[in-house]
Structure 1
């Protein structure tokens, strides 16, 4: 007697981060039932700068998916992608890459950048129009300007330019599309007031390189040889990470997503950016429906890592000592009353928020590691409150969700609670939130779900 195994219907998601490349299977309740991941070493581009090994990534994804189609216990019925922003894949008419896939940390030639801003209204005006602080290659749209004038022979080969999440979708469907969440992540491409591509895109003739914009919950189909599975168009990872909260919560909230960067996201704030906000690293994303979402950024993860290393050296302590510390209200009250700041930041810029910073750090002035660490988190949380206030505005929002690495830092969370009275600070985490967001999108009913 033989028995046919009942297969579990699942949604497959490729979550392509800058470091880790992950593959997930989610069941119908969006619970993770399978995960695999890999990493790829960068390869030098034509200038010797590290670039994304797009061919190796493509081979791994196709091989991984074909293998998953053969799993006896799962039936893949949906597929989608999340990917990091500020990354373009430039292709020929057949979708084959014709340039390296440039890393967004690649230096942008300063004379060419100055030429661009002089041509299109100056840095401040352009940044305000496009909700994109001047970030060089991180303004991914400007890659095309760079290629047009610095590498014209390569530019002439380009027939299509797709952001990374949409290129991943193209690999499986053969259909080229553009998506609001990728267009709107500090690319310098979108005029937020006109709600259209910025004038420079058309004047430089790059608008015809972009495939048509499709809704983020558009459902395509994979190629027949890949199972003819319902397939999404891909989503920018930060926008994807927001979706599980929007899906679960009915009342307005702010999401503070922490890690290397602390990203304060207010999906209910569509107020225009001011020049002052831009200077404080505040910008806007486009939501899945093309509406602006105000966010602010703070480089707290990298700052925290650097300062902790200095403390460990000074006190000769083992790694991760700070994780054993508990919030001490007596020590906090002591350090909060210090008349001057006593830690010199390496990455953070308190003056942008009107906060003075010490000229140097004297670790010997602290009684011990515990006092020094409380001081560090006190000063970082001051900046975090200032950054959060940029997106909070005067909107009536009572809850702030903290997810990512700092949601497990008791000192950070308790200090936020003290410094933002009247707001509920909730430590929360949707593991693999970007991937889950992509899964939510491809499972939306296009005809009945209202994209907000």
Structure 2
């Protein structure tokens, strides 16, 4: 059976899948690897351990007698650089994008390049410190100039993993174009600061996501993708009329591939950004920290009502409770003006839990508040574009209260819960489809459940 192997490297879970020609998963392995620390004692990915795990899994796959390995690709978390010298040796730890960025260095950088506002708009990158991966290169150059001299290439993590197998260094637009401070979206080329700082020679040439490098006879190896851009590929392949994908997890990210209006500074301040598709088209996106908020508030509810943390799993959408809560004026139907920034602060944070008669009622209020935030966030990317459908995937797609309230908030748009095993891995497989798979792509890759409003 012909298969493609996809290494899907998350911050916590590392997975490898074999997909057959119908894109069904036929074999998989996953692991949680121990982190190490960088020279400042900050936790980070252990690049050697990760490298060995990948090479071991690859040897294991090649020995499986019932599969013929045709291609390999990678999808990994973003905002992470691996620095290699001319022999391909890794020069530094794989620094963590959650690491605090030195304030002085940041101030100096932005004042040199026309200030935060102009720079952020040009590069479609909110000011996020280490999460702007280009700023990690700048910091390395400023703090360790002698070591930086030795760098041959700065590779985003997916491209480093591809380099391990091909020994060829490339950059990829999905990693470069995602809030990195590296790409000028107005001119669709690298921002000139890389030239000014003597960094551009250390960025390898761009390679297109759908193209592969041939190795070991006939094996097609992709150059790797940023996981957020990869996860949208199955949707753009299956659906042609305008949609928004609401990808939910710790972050809820609204992605609109049909909105190509340039980002404004106001949108950037409201946590909007651009992702680049592997086809080089920008995707407008808005982020909300709502999976995290749900966890924090669910803990608070569990403590108050003295029930297990995951009691919400047994609470289903109840129209009567919603109607009662609304009539009590706990919540005025959208859009209500708040005297605080609803995108930064969930209204539920300040609600008095003793006013709710039971856990079920309080949990419905939490979901009303989270969905109200979500509508504000999603509207930032729907604005001025002809969206016909919203697909919700990830954790909240399984939450009947969230889904029903969202459908009600968008009476003119069809709202679906979408489920698909391993979207980012599947996207990385589909990206290189024509290089390994003779069959046409079927149109039933995604299971949909429609929510009436």
On whether the aligned pair clears a TM of 0.5, the verdict is yes
Q: Where does residue 207 of structure 2 map in the other structure? A: 214
Q: Where does residue 134 of structure 2 map in the other structure? A: 141
Q: How does 1:48-67 map to 2 (within 5 A)?
A: 48-67=41-60
1:328, distance to aligned residue in structure 2 (A): 1.0
CA contact (8 A) 1:83 1:165 kept: yes
Q: SS of the residue aligned with 1:438?
A: helix
Q: SS of the residue aligned with 2:309?
A: coil
Q: SS of the residue aligned with 2:33?
A: coil
Q: Paired residue for 1:80, among 68, 73, 76?
A: 73
Q: Distance in 2 between matches of 1:18 and 1:56?
A: 14
Q: Where does residue 364 of structure 1 map in the other structure? A: 354
Q: Paired residue for 2:98, among 105, 108, 121?
A: 105
CA contact (8 A) 1:263 1:296 kept: yes
CA contact (8 A) 1:91 1:159 kept: yes
**Per-residue displacement from partner, 1:292-344 (whole Å, max 9, x unpaired)?**
110000000000000000110111101311010111112112223444569xx
Q: Where does residue 346 of structure 1 map in the other structure? A: none
Q: Where does residue 451 of structure 2 map in the other structure? A: none
Q: Paired residue for 2:13, among 3, 16, 20?
A: 20
Q: Paired residue for 2:278, among 279, 288, 302?
A: 288
User: Is structure 2 residue 317 aligned with structure 1 residue 327?
Assistant: yes
Q: Distance in 2 between matches of 1:401 and 1:141?
A: 32
1:141, distance to aligned residue in structure 2 (A): 0.7
Q: Where does residue 123 of structure 1 map in the other structure? A: 116
CA contact (8 A) 2:211 2:435 kept: no
1:356, distance to aligned residue in structure 2 (A): 8.7
RMSD of the alignment, in Å? Answer: 2.0
CA contact (8 A) 1:78 1:443 kept: no
Q: Distance in 1 between matches of 2:56 and 2:344?
A: 52
**Per-residue displacement from partner, 1:34-76 (whole Å, max 9, x unpaired)?**
0001111111101110111001100110111011101011110
1:156, distance to aligned residue in structure 2 (A): 2.1
**Per-residue displacement from partner, 1:401-436 (whole Å, max 9, x unpaired)?**
000011000000000011111111100122101000
Q: How does 1:136-175 map to 2 (within 5 A)?
A: 136-175=129-168
1:10, distance to aligned residue in structure 2 (A): 0.4
Q: How does 1:90-101 map to 2 (within 5 A)?
A: 90-101=83-94
Q: Where does residue 5 of structure 1 map in the other structure? A: none
1:155, distance to aligned residue in structure 2 (A): 1.8
CA contact (8 A) 2:346 2:373 kept: no
Q: Distance in 2 between matches of 1:256 and 1:443?
A: 25
Q: Distance in 1 between matches of 2:247 and 2:263?
A: 21
1:185, distance to aligned residue in structure 2 (A): 1.1
Moved more, 155-164 or 230-239: 155-164
1:350, distance to aligned residue in structure 2 (A): 5.7
Q: Paired residue for 1:41, among 34, 54, 61?
A: 34
CA contact (8 A) 1:279 1:352 kept: no
| TM-score (normalised: structure 1) | 0.92
Question: What runs of 5+ residues in structure 2 fail to find an aligned partner?
Answer: 333-338, 441-453
Q: Distance in 1 between matches of 2:390 and 2:346?
A: 26
Report how many aligned residue pairs link the two structures: 432
CA contact (8 A) 2:220 2:435 kept: no
Q: Distance in 2 between matches of 1:354 and 1:33?
A: 42
**Per-residue displacement from partner, 1:92-141 (whole Å, max 9, x unpaired)?**
01221101100100111111111111111111211111111111110001
> CA separation of 1:356/1:416 partners in 2, compared to 1, >3 Å: closer, same or farther?
closer
> CA separation of 1:302/1:29 partners in 2, compared to 1, >3 Å: closer, same or farther?
same
Q: Paired residue for 2:398, among 408, 412, 430?
A: 408
User: Is structure 2 residue 204 aligned with structure 1 residue 204?
Assistant: no
User: Is structure 2 residue 267 aligned with structure 1 residue 267?
Assistant: no
> CA separation of 1:354/1:232 partners in 2, compared to 1, >3 Å: closer, same or farther?
closer
Q: Where does residue 226 of structure 2 map in the other structure? A: 236
Q: SS of the residue aligned with 1:25?
A: strand
Q: SS of the residue aligned with 1:269?
A: coil
Question: What runs of 5+ residues in structure 1 fail to find an aligned partner?
Answer: 1-7, 343-348
